[in-house]
Amino acid sequence: MSDAWVIFDVDNTLWNIEYFYDEAREELCSFIAEKGFGSKVPEKYQRERDVELMLTYGYSACRFARSFEDTVIKFLGNDIDAIIHARSLALGVFERSPTVNPGVQELFQKLKGNFKIGLITAGEKWVQERRLSDFHLKGEVDDVHVVESKTPSVFQCFIDDNGVDVAKSWMVGDSLKSDIAPAQSVGLRTIWYHADNWREVENNGYKDAAKKAVRVKSMDEIHDVIKGGI
C-alpha cells in the first residue's frame, strides 16, 4: 500500500525533548534565586516572555535564548556575565541528543509493509537535522520534511510530493496547533499523542481539532488505532 502513510511529528512525539527546556529553565531560576530572588516569579516571567517572542522568532533557538536574556535583564539588570550565562543555558538545550520514546521501534516494525512512514518536523534546520542525525531509526523512514512551521500547505506539499492517499493515511503528533489541526484541514486522519509540551502555544484554543482526533498515551495505542481504522 504505497499510497498509505503514517506521518509523525518528531519533537515530543517520537522522542522526548520537553525536559531539556524544563531543566534549563530550572537552572536559570536557581541562578537568579542566588542573587536574592525567588524562583517562581522569574519562571513565570520567562514563560510569558517566551510565548510573546514566538510571534517574532517562531520555533527558533534564538527565541528561547532571548527569553532567558530578557529574564536576567528584568531581575538582575544589565549584568553582562549573567546575560552570557543565561544565553549559554538556553542554547545548551539545542546541543543535546533526544531520548527516543518507548515503543517507537516496535511501532515502526508493525507499520512496515502496510504503510510508508513519514516525518514532518518544525524548527531551525540545523537543530532538527542534528537531532535527526542521532535518530537510530531514520533508516526506517521513507521521507522527511524539515520546515520552519507546520501549516496546511506544508502537509499538502508532503501529500503531493509522495502521492499520499489521505483517506488511508494518518498524522500522529502531540501538538493540536502544529500537527493535528493542519493535518485535519487537508483530510488526514489524526492521532493526538499525549505528551509534555509547550501547552500555552501548542494546545490552547484548539478544542475542535481535539474532538476530531483520537487521543492516545502510548505507541501501542497508536498501532491499535491505526489497525482498527484500516
Q: What is the pLDDT of residues 163-182, one digit of tens each?
A: 999 999 999 999 998 999 99
3-class DSSP state of 170: strand
Please say which residue of 47, 70, 95 terminates a domain.
95
> What are the beta bridge partners of residue 145?
120
Q: Which domain holds residue 38?
A: 18-95
Q: Are residues 128 and 211 in the same domain?
A: yes
Q: Of the candidates 1, 77, 98, 70, which has an alpha carbon nearest to the alpha carbon of residue 35?
A: 77
Number of structural domains found in the chain: 2
Q: Are residues 9 and 39 in the same domain?
A: no
Q: Are residues 163 and 199 in the same domain?
A: yes
Q: Are residues 67 and 115 in the same domain?
A: no
pTM: 0.90
CB 14 within 8 A of CB 8: yes
CB 9 within 8 A of CB 172: yes
| CATH code of the domain containing 66 | 1.10.150
Question: Measured over all CA atoms, what is the biggest interatomic distance in the chain, rounded to whole angstroms?
Answer: 62
Q: Are residues 37 and 151 in the same domain?
A: no
Name the band, by pLDDT with cuts 50, 70 and 90, for residue 227.
confident
Name the band, by pLDDT with cuts 50, 70 and 90, for residue 137.
very high
The full 3-state SS of 97-145, as one line of letters, equals CCEECCCHHHHHHHHECCEEEEEEEECCHHHHHHHHHCCCCHHHCCEEE
